[in-house]
Amino acid sequence: MMRTRKVVWEPSQEQVESSNLARFMKQEQISDYDTLIKRSEEDVSWFWNAFIRFAGIEFAKPYRSVLDSSKGLPWPEWFVDGKINLVHNFLDKWAENEATAGRPALLWEGESEEERRYSFYELRQEVNRFANALGTLGVERGDRVAIYMPMIPETVIALYGIYKAGAIAVPLFSGFGPEAVAVRLRDVEAKLVVTADGFYRGGQQVLLKHVLDKALETSPTVQSVLIAERLGEKALLVPGRDWHWGELMDAASDRYATVETDAEEPCMVSYSSGTTGSPKGIVHVHGGIAVKTAEVGMFIYDTHPDDIFTMVTDFGWMMGQLPLFSAHSVAAPFLIYEGSPMHPHPGRLYQIIEKYKVTVFGAPATALRMLKTYAEPFREQADLSTLRILGHTGEPIDEETWSWYLSWTNGRAPIINGSGGTEVFAEILSSTCITPQKATCLGATPAVGAKVVDEAGNPVPAGNSGYLIFTVPQPAQTRGFWRNRQRYLDTYFPLGEHMWWQGDMVTKDEEGHWFHQGRADDVIKVSGRRTGPGELEDVVIQFPGVLEAAAIGVPHAVKGEEIVLFIVMTPGAALEANELRRHVTNTLGKPYEPAEVHIVLDLPKTRTQKIMRRLIKQRFLGEALGDTSSLMNPGALDGLPRRTAIDQ
């Protein structure tokens, strides 16, 4: 069903020659990108050893070998016998170097336009104080410390402090309700929670500590709570358990020796955004995160020291930390924004790009569609000339929005479109700044071994939909689920332990360009034809007046499934359903004619902007919803229609 697309962006000679990838290939005497991909997949140890040398990644104790794969793809051991703490590579070594100590490391913009800036030296001093504060509260190496925090500088300080001390960070989305927080705290047996009295979102105060207090009623392992003062409201303190940030930080020393953690030592339990089933505690380790996120920063986002990097994200998910580490891997500053990207007006993101002279910017498709609909007058007036890299990840992006995004710089800046996941803490597929791009395309990245297969694990022909798998061990792939070995194996190795089932549907065309079609769980099967929702939704969004769309397949006695669309319209637009059906069939063919079209006010999404089609389908069919804790807008479920008996 995949439509043919033409190359619409090609790198200039200057973009290629100045890229980190080109410098690396020159160092290793590799002639072109395809050769790099082939050699990196055939000799994984060579690639990562060469990258570590290229990036200047420092180990406290050198590794004996890059990779021990004797236990198979599910259980690789990386940087064997090496010692490395990711904080040393992303913070300490820059703060200790006179040439980089004074460089900006962290920039913060509050919703009311407050600013804070930290150099690498200043940030390291705060992180040292925090690590000492953890010791004061009895936190030891290996203890789990949850971070239930908004987008403020204290969140970065806490994360780095936890890693520096050899404890294990457990990031929690600041939009979680009490039970979602409590489930995760109980699962990891968290000893301490770092939170804030609250934060600002869309001009409103969100009282975060009040939500945490309810969660702690059923979280018996938590001994201490450390509260950053953002609102200035005095949160309720439980004597002996709760502490103000300023109180402990002011008393703490700014000297702390970073713990020399083993390369395979856990540093984080990161809960997935929960598209299926109960939350999964995904275990990550110091060595894998330190090396892989540096590679993402340098090779995928082509980050350089003089870049200003920002992304619409949240530290409750891995996509909060990944761009932070990507920037800090080359001593570039990372910019975080606290509030709503639409407050106090739809042009707030453009204002921030212009104010800080942002060069590397990332946002999910949902945010981009909102900007396209509501903020065009602001974009037309903004100076976006500093932008050189545009990022997108998460959901499939539609062709119209991708093309509009490319127009931000009149086609000068490439769109880095990636697909990966919390489980690998990075991309599996991504476009790059040195390879030609077709609208919405992804691309192969080094040392991954990505393939498209059918349900039995057999390769599918070019242009056909299939399931994304990878076959080469990844440094940052999860070391399993927290205390649940079998669920990890069942989730990612249903085709056998020689291929990792990523969970996305993709296609690869004759010229080697990849395209994301959505989650495998969302596959629609009409009259024997299987397709992901992304291709359908892309066509629907091209119809005048459509802002967002979600496509699901529902049971049908003859066809197996039929297509039902849920559509959010732009303000003031009306929809003629029959005209939309004709638009879809004229583009994709009669088998893909939607059986039903429903206009809704909103679609349920995770904080990472993934549309939760599973929940849409379950709601429509009247089934039990299961885990909804990762939704940022749970009220959207109430606005969805239910299928009536006559429809069936």
pLDDT value at residue 524 = 80
Are 145 and 55 found together in one domain?
A: no
Question: Which CATH number is 132's domain given?
Answer: 3.40.50.980
Least confident of 32-41, 255-264, 548-557: 548-557
CATH number, domain containing residue 314: 3.40.50.12780
The whole-number pLDDT of residue 275 equals: 42
Q: Which of 194, 223, 251 is the last residue of a domain?
A: 251
The pLDDT of 180-188, averaged and rounded, is: 92
| Residue-wise pLDDT tens digits, 422-450 | 899 999 999 999 999 999 999 999 999 99
Q: Which of 462, 482, 517 is the last residue of a domain?
A: 517
Q: Which amino acid is at 234?
A: K
Mean pLDDT in residue range 136-164: 98
43 found inside a domain: yes
Pairing status of strand 529-531 against strand 524-526: antiparallel
Higher-confidence residue of 623 and 79: namely 79
Residues 392 and 490 in one domain: yes
Q: How many angstroms from the chain centroid is the CA of residue 49?
A: 26
Average pLDDT over residues 539-551: 91
Nearest by Cα to 262 from 52, 485, 79: 79
Burial string for 328-345 (b: 16+ CB within 10 Å, else e) reads bbbbbbbbbbbbebbeee
Q: What is the pLDDT of residue 435?
A: 97
Same-domain pairing of 269 and 398: yes
Note whether 512 and 540 are same-domain residues.
no
Of 321, 300, 306, nearest to 386 by C-alpha is 306
Is residue 479 in a domain? Answer: yes
Tally of domains within the chain: 3
Q: How many CB atoms lie under 10 A from the CB of residue 485?
A: 11
Residue 195 predicted with pLDDT over 70: yes
Residue type, 310: T
- Domain assignment of residue 113, yes or no: no
Domain coverage including residue 547: 523-647
Q: Domain check: are 413 and 503 in the same one?
A: yes
Handedness of CA 160, 161, 167, 173 (dihedral sign): negative
- Provide the pLDDT for residue 643: 84
**Count helices and strands in the chain by DSSP H and E runs:** 22, 31
Residue 380 forms part of a structural domain: yes
Average pLDDT over residues 197-217: 93
Domain identity same for 172 and 304: no
pLDDT grade, residue 189 (50/70/90)?
very high
- Structure-token match 């457990």, residue found: 170
More confident residue, 591 or 541: 541
Poorest-pLDDT segment among 66-70, 379-383, 503-507: 503-507
User: Would residue 486 count as lying in a domain?
Assistant: yes
Together in a domain, 396 and 379:
yes
> 3-state class of 441 per DSSP?
strand
Domain end point (choices 489, 517, 545): 517
Instruction: Give the pLDDT mean for 381-387.
Output: 97
pLDDT band with cut points at 50, 70 and 90 for residue 528: low
CA nearest to 400, candidates 579, 573, 566, 587:
587
Classified as helix, coil or strand, 106 is strand
> What does R_g of the chain's alpha carbons equal in angstroms?
24
Does 536 share its domain with 510? no
21 and 156 part of one domain = no
Look at residues 633, 646, 630 and name the one whose alpha carbon lies nearest to residue 274: 630
Does 114 map to a domain?
Answer: no
Amino acid at 586: N
| Rounded average pLDDT over 20-24 | 98
pLDDT in tens, 588-628: 778 788 999 999 999 998 766 778 888 999 899 988 887 77
Are 348 and 365 part of one and the same domain?
Answer: yes
Asked if 275 contacts 323 with a C-beta cutoff of 8 angstroms, the reply is no
* Closest residue by Cα to residue 305 from 20, 108, 92: 20
Within 10 angstroms of residue 558's Cβ, the number of other Cβ atoms is: 6
d(CA 109, CA 352): 8
Among 532, 2, 465, 476, residue whose Cα is nearest residue 264 = 476
The answer to whether 274 and 147 have CB atoms below 8 angstroms apart is no
pLDDT for 522 beyond 80: no
Confidence at 414, pLDDT banded by 50, 70, 90: very high
Give the CATH number of the domain where residue 544 resides.
3.30.300.30
Lowest mean pLDDT across 168-177, 268-277, 376-385, 565-574: 268-277
Residues 149 and 232 in one domain: yes
For the question of whether the overall pTM of this predicted structure is more than 0.75, the answer is yes
Task: Return the pLDDT at 276.
Answer: 46
Q: Lowest mean pLDDT of 31-35, 72-76, 91-95, 484-488, name the range.
A: 484-488
pLDDT per residue over 310-335, tens digit each? 999 889 888 889 999 999 999 999 99
Label residue 73 left, alpha or beta by phi (over 0 means left) and psi (-120 to 50 means alpha): alpha
Place of tokens 């599973």: 614
Q: What pLDDT score does 610 carry?
A: 78
Lowest-confidence segment of 120-134, 505-519, 632-646 by average pLDDT: 632-646
Give the confidence band of 147 by pLDDT, cuts at 50, 70, 90. Answer: very high
Q: What local confidence, expressed as pLDDT, does residue 277 receive?
A: 52
At 56, give phi and psi (nearest 5°): 70, 30
Write out pLDDT tens, residues 291-300. Answer: 999 999 999 9
80 plus 129 within the same structural domain: no
**pLDDT score at 128:** 98
Q: How far is C-alpha 331 from the chain's CA centre?
A: 21
Q: Residue 247: inside a domain, yes or no? A: yes
The amino acid that residue 151 corresponds to is M
Identity at 337, one-letter amino acid code: Y
- CA-wise closest residue to 338 among 90, 106, 605, 602: 106
pLDDT at 175 over 90: no
Q: For residue range 558-577, what is the model confidence (pLDDT) as tens digits?
A: 777 889 999 999 988 988 88
pLDDT at 23: 98
Helix/strand/coil for 192: strand
648: confidence class by pLDDT, cuts 50, 70, 90: very low
Burial of 510 (0-12, 13-18, 19+ CB in 10 A): exposed
Amino acid at 374: Y
170 in any annotated domain: yes
